[in-house]
Amino acid sequence: MTAAASARQILTRLHEVMASRMHAQGKLDQVVDIIGQNLDSEVCSIYLLRDGMLELFATRGLNQSAVHVTRMAIGEGLTGTIAENIETLNLAEAKAHPDFQYRPETGEEKFHSFAGVPIVYRERAVGVLSVQHVDPRRYEDIEIEALQTTAMVLSEMIANAELVDEEDARGLSEGQTGMQTLQGLALVKGLAIGQAVFHQPRVTINQVMADDVEAERQRVYRAFDRMREQIDNMASQAEFGVGGEHEEVLQTYKMFAYDEGWSRRINEAIDSGLTAEAAIERVQQRTRMRMREIDDPLLADRMHDLEDLSNRLLRIVSGQLGTAASMGLRGDTILIARNLGPAELLEYDRRRLKGVILEEGSLTAHVVIVARAMGVPVLGRARGLRGIVREGDEILLDADHSIATVRPSQQILDGFAERFAKSRQKQAAYAELRDVEPFTRCGTRIQVMMNAGLRDDISALAMTGADGVGLFRTEFQFLVSATLPQRERQTRLYREVMDAAGSKPVVFRTVDIGGDKAVPYLRDEGSEFEENPAMGWRALRMALERDGLLKVQARALLEAASGRALHVMFPMVSEPWEFDAAKAVFDEQLAFMKKRKKIPPDAIHFGAMLEVPALAEVLDDLLPRLDFLSVGTNDLTQFLFAADRANPKLAERYDWLSPAIMRFLARVIYSTAGHEVSLSVCGEMGGRRLEALALLGMGIRKLSITPASVGPIKELVRKVDLEEISDAMKQWLAEPGVDFRARLQSWADERGIETD
């Protein structure tokens, strides 16, 4: 008999049992008989989880008196080990296994060989199915597969008969792997507690046995076709980086998607009488088992790719296509994903989404920019994430320390809760500063503005008491759209933002897209793959050449600001003429607007960002043309140090407080003296206290920072005497090789100024 035929025979018999009107216990008794006979095994037993213990529910071959008597803890004996690790054991000599434990009441001493598989329900082991034999022999692959298939059937039956309750399943999971810590890279700092929710949930299989084998085969064929189509599409879009998928991953996806072996094995499983879903899962189980035996991190990565793909195939075939966002979050959530796009993140309920853990991700990935704007902590590059975390697990995300604790012990939970409460207290204290104006000790009013990019961010103005929005990143709307936002949509957003900000100013930065922030709908001959996207055809460089882009945005901004003041800022200005050219586009649109008798803005203030070091050398030429200048230290420092800001290997190599940056900024600041321009810093560094202290000491009086930093920076400002810090900075700036960080730290410590 072929493997498929014998598997089918077992399934047919199981089918009859399952379809019968017998009660659950009767069915289990029959199942052990069927398996025992078909696998020619003297013993076949089923253990199920009850009150956190694995209890012998049915057996053929062991003493019947042991049924409902023999109980094993998770991790105890071979049965407990299978459940704990959710793994299959296949042993010629059971006694030789280190976890073997002898239970006299069962009468199992005469049996040598042993094979067992976990019965898995919703990714948790809820029982174990095992066979034993007098002869010391390893079971054949097809026998193990028959056991695994039976375990799937049992799990369906167990769920239907409610033989295992959710509580038990959860209890087991805690014992299963216990507390684990994930290390990663802090992409957005912060603390969060919540339950793990997979962005792409695993599919639940509702029916294991097929009613019509041919129909199932057709379903799988169609699903394969669709999956291949999707992968091909992803690959053709990958060059834009929109899917967030890594080139290498896509290659692997492609390789697996077209792998004949994989589709053949699924086909064979269907031959044996399984539904399409069950067949895909069966094959995946087998692969998982094989891979577990190979201890190779590279292969483990590939395994994740195949898991992804297998899950994708399952979703297609079962029609369970939605992400967790489409199903809605039920409580405080830590979202788990390999990677996400910004639009996908925005689909989640902001009140419930507390944190994100990604297997990939980098500091400037769009999703991270969006998460930062949403105030959601993100841990990235968490290796092994999806192997460790299960749906519903409790997770403590500590992105301040680049770790997450999965299934925390009570002690860890208490400690975390304490820190969490402290950080909340601090937040509350900062919130109290909301209406307090940030005057320094010596009485100078510092402007503390915030950065934003989404309509909803504006609510943070009222919450933090920031003086306005010093940087509104208009490209966010472009990044989260599937098509180029039309003028009306842009106008609507800008108008809503200004309405929400009320009397507080909003500085709109014109689009900073292109380069690594490429959007597919703006593709043309210039935006093909660039070796150095950050230094490429981006921001103003692109906007000036892309007919319509800046023009449309200018119209949208001018119309939205009708009858009120408009602040416009141009990114990546590298030479003064670029500023002129951009301003000319606005002038032209303004003239057009006036001709059409539309009400223009009351006043228009034009500014430039200083992000390209070259611009610092020609400030005398540039400054007379400007109303304001804002230093974008994120880009500026990457260009000064020739260090890609997106490269995690360089993330901590150069300090914002390095003498090179300090001296450069001091020179820029001093050279604005005597010009009527308002000067600010809008890069991330202004939101960190020691860095902000240095900036104040060099003469900066206006900062635009991430909303979460507004409170802490206001608090700092109130404790600083500007003359003191500026004297100290002058001295340090003149000293060769000074350690600014250490000096600023002790300066702050001596005055009791908190800095972290």
Shortest Å distance, C-beta 650 to ligand PEP: 16
Q: Which does 309 bind (CB under 5 to 8 A by kind): Mg ion, ligand PEP, none?
A: none
Q: What is the DSSP pairing of strand 191-198 with strand 394-398?
A: antiparallel
Of the two residues 184 and 683, which places its CB atom closer to ligand PEP in the complex? 683
DSSP H or E segment with residue 12: helix 3-19
Among Mg ion, ligand PEP, none, residue 682 binds (CB under 5-8 Å by kind): ligand PEP
Pairing verdict, β 71-73 and 89-91? unpaired
Sheet holding 394-398, edge to edge: 180-183, 403-406, 394-398, 191-198, 333-337, 353-358, 378-380, 185-188
Establish if 29 lies at the interface with ligand PEP (CB under 6 A): no
Which sign, positive or negative, has the C-alpha torsion 159, 162, 167, 172? negative
Q: Which C-beta is closer to Mg ion: that of 184 or that of 571?
A: 571
- Write out the H or E segment, with its range, that includes residue 133: strand 124-133
Minimum gap (Å) between residue 534 Cβ and ligand PEP: 9
Chosen residue from 355, 377, 408, 632 binding Mg ion by CB under 5 A: 632
Q: Which stretch binds ligand PEP (CB under 6 A): 37-45, 253-261, 599-607, 631-639?
A: 631-639
Q: Closest approach of Cβ 637 to ligand PEP, in Å? A: 8
Structure tokens at 590: 């303004």
In whole angstroms, the minimum distance from the beta carbon of 705 to ligand PEP comes to 10
Closest CA to 246 of 158, 333, 362: 362
State which of positions 204-243 bind ligand PEP (CB under 6 A).
none
Candidate list 393, 398, 635, 644; residue touching ligand PEP; CB under 6 A: 635
| Burial class of residue 130, CB neighbours in 10 A (0-12, 13-18, 19+) | buried
Min dist. Cβ of residue 646 to ligand PEP (A): 11
Long-range pairs of 325-328 with CB within 8 A, sequence gap ≥ 24: 325/199, 325/349, 327/201
672-691 positions binding ligand PEP, by CB under 6 A? 682-683
Please tell me the distance from the alpha carbon of residue 138 to that of residue 112, in angstroms, as a whole number. Answer: 10
Which of residues 27, 282, 390, 473 is near ligand PEP by CB under 6 A? 473
Region from 113-121, 145-153, 391-399, 604-612 binding Mg ion, contact rule CB under 5 A: 604-612
Question: CB-wise, 303 or 703, nearer to ligand PEP?
Answer: 703
Whole-number minimum distance, CB 253 to ligand PEP, in Å? 31
Length of the chain: 756
CA distances from 11 to 2, 16, 34, 208, 273 (A): 14, 9, 10, 10, 7
- Min dist. Cβ of residue 533 to Mg ion (A): 13
Is residue 633 a contact residue for ligand PEP (CB under 6 A)?
A: yes
Query: 248: which residues sit within 8 A by CB, 6+ positions away?
Result: none
Helix (H, G, I), strand (E, B), or coil: what is residue 138? coil
Question: In sequence order, what DSSP letters do the residues of 178-229 get, joined into one string?
Answer: --EEEE-EEEE--EEEEEEEESSPPPPP---B-S-HHHHHHHHHHHHHHHHH
CB closer to ligand PEP, 216 vs 516: 516
* Position 634 contacts ligand PEP (CB under 6 A): yes
Contact at 8 Å (CB) between 469 and 704? yes
277 binds ligand PEP (CB under 6 A): no
Q: Which is nearer to Mg ion, 514 or 632 (CB)?
A: 632
- Beta pairing class for 394-398 and 333-337: unpaired
Residue from the set 168, 307, 611, 691 that interacts with ligand PEP by CB under 6 A? 611
Distance between CA atoms of 509 and 629, rounded to whole angstroms?
Answer: 12
Query: Is there binding between residue 380 and Mg ion (CB under 5 A)?
Result: no
Of the two residues 145 and 691, which places its CB atom closer to ligand PEP in the complex? 691
Nearest distance from residue 241's CB to Mg ion, in Å?
Answer: 17
Q: How many residues lie near ligand PEP (CB under 6 A)?
A: 10
Using CB distances below 5 to 8 A depending on partner kind, what does residue 108 bind out of ligand PEP, Mg ion, none?
Answer: none
Nearest-approach distance from CB 683 to Mg ion, in angstroms: 7
**Quick one: 53 or 539, whose CB is closer to ligand PEP?**
539
Instruction: Note whether 512 binds ligand PEP by CB under 6 A.
Output: yes
Per-residue HEC secondary structure of 215-229 comes to HHHHHHHHHHHHHHH
- Are 545 and 511 a contacting pair, CB within 8 Å? no
The nearest distance, CB 632 to ligand PEP, in angstroms, is 3
Structural element, H or E, at residue 31: helix 24-38
Residue with smaller CB distance to Mg ion, 534 or 738 = 534
CB of 370 to ligand PEP, least distance (A): 12
Nearer to Mg ion, 634 or 658 (CB): 634
The interface region with ligand PEP, picked from 71-79, 104-112, 617-625, 633-641 by CB under 6 A, is 633-641
**Over 343-408, what HEC string results?**
HHHHCCCCCCEEEEEECCCCCCCHHHHHHHHHCCCEEECCCCHHHHCCCCCEEEEECCCCEEEECC
Cα-Cα end-to-end distance for the chain: 71
The residue among 342 and 408 lying less far from ligand PEP, judged by its C-beta, is 342
* Residue 457 near ligand PEP by CB under 6 A: no
Which span (8-16, 112-120, 630-638, 654-662) binds ligand PEP, by CB under 6 A?
630-638
Q: Which of 156, 635, 684, 691 binds Mg ion (CB under 5 A)?
A: 635
Number of residues that bind Mg ion (CB under 5 A): 3
Neighbours of 595 (CB within 10 A): 8
Residue 260 to residue 255: CA distance in whole angstroms = 10
Q: Does the protein bind Mg ion through residue 359 (CB under 5 A)?
A: no
Cβ 632 to Mg ion, closest distance in Å?
A: 4
Q: Residue 27 binds which entry of Mg ion, ligand PEP, none, with Cβ cut-offs from 5 to 8 Å by kind?
A: none
Choose the contact partner of 473 out of ligand PEP, Mg ion, none; CB within 5 to 8 A by kind: ligand PEP
Q: Which of 380, 514, 632, 697 is in the footprint of ligand PEP by CB under 6 A?
A: 632
Task: Burial-class residue 97 by CB neighbours within 10 Å (0-12, 13-18, 19+).
Answer: middle
Comparing CB distances to ligand PEP, the nearer of 317 and 507 is 507
The set of residues, in sequence order, having a beta carbon less than 8 Å from that of 431 and lying 6+ positions away, is: 463, 464, 711
Q: What is the nearest approach in angstroms of Mg ion to the Cβ of residue 487? A: 25
Could you say which of ligand PEP, Mg ion, none residue 515 binds, taking C-beta under 5 to 8 angstroms by partner kind?
A: none
Nearer to Mg ion, 372 or 407 (CB): 372
Burial of 671 (0-12, 13-18, 19+ CB in 10 A): middle
Stretch that binds Mg ion, among 343-351, 502-510, 611-619, 708-716 (CB under 5 A): 611-619
Q: How far is the CB of 473 from ligand PEP (least distance, A)?
A: 5
CB of 634 to Mg ion, least distance (A): 5
**Nearest CA to 346 among 379, 323, 380, 315?**
323
Q: Could you give the CA distance from residue 721 to residue 624 in angstroms, rounded to a whole number?
A: 31
- 3-class SS at 569? strand
- Residue 742 CB, shortest distance to Mg ion, in Å, is 29
Candidate segments 400-408, 417-425, 605-613, 666-674, binder of Mg ion by CB under 5 A? 605-613
- Specify whether the CB–CB gap between 114 and 130 falls below 8 A: yes
Binding residues (CB under 5 A) for Mg ion: these are 611, 632, 635
Binding residues (CB under 6 A) for ligand PEP: these are 471, 473, 512, 611, 632-635, 682-683
